[in-house]
Amino acid sequence: MNIILASASPRRKYLLKRLGLDFIVEPSSVDESIIPYKTHREFALKAALAKARDVASRHNDALVIGADTIVCLDNDILGKPQDIDNARRILLMLRGRAHIVITGVAVVLAGTESIAMDAVSTKVFFKRFTQGTLERYLKSGDSLDKAGAYGIQGIGKHLIHHVEGDYFNVMGMPIECLLSLLGNFIPVKERFQSFNKFKKTFQRL
């Protein structure tokens, strides 16, 4: 069965490759701004499902993975920054505080009504970083394509004190959650083994 990742995220693509999954990338065209929701978790789930269903509608025999990662501070969802100035404002809001990262994951079997979905939350604590650290990060350009204007891997790790929960969730794909969902459709034992080996060698904060 073909597996399709309904996302252009290079981080999600990287993580799925490390699982040894054979998949193709086909981003969805869903407008997330029109999705109604009452809670942040509900939004992440609905957005992930909408993306997976959008791509699945173009296929008859495929397993489609949709995901949506949001950064939540108090009652607000912090999306991708529009420009460097917007990224600076977002990161200054996060500085010295804790926030929640939620990723909704949905797996849809194209041509059927079969779906499996769940969401994972991780608490991220930011350092009270200096203005110089902030400006160096902004200059790298790493903030512009990420929800909350930062990435936990690479240079972005210098902004973060620690995390409570699933590290890979903050990267954009909670792998154990994804594998559990895929297990409703395909064998995943070998993928769990691959993931456990990957975790041992992966350099975190």
- Answer for the pair 29, 54: CB distance below 8 angstroms, yes or no: yes
**C-alpha of 198 from chain center:** 18
SS3 category, 122:
strand
Per-residue buried b or exposed e for 56-81, using 16+ beta carbons within 10 Å of the residue's own CB:
beebeebbbbbbbbbbbeeeebbbeb
Quote the DSSP letter at residue 113: S
What amino acid positions are annotated as catalytic residues?
68
As a whole number of angstroms, the distance between CA 126 and CA 151 comes to 12
- The CA distance from 204 to 148, in Å, is 19
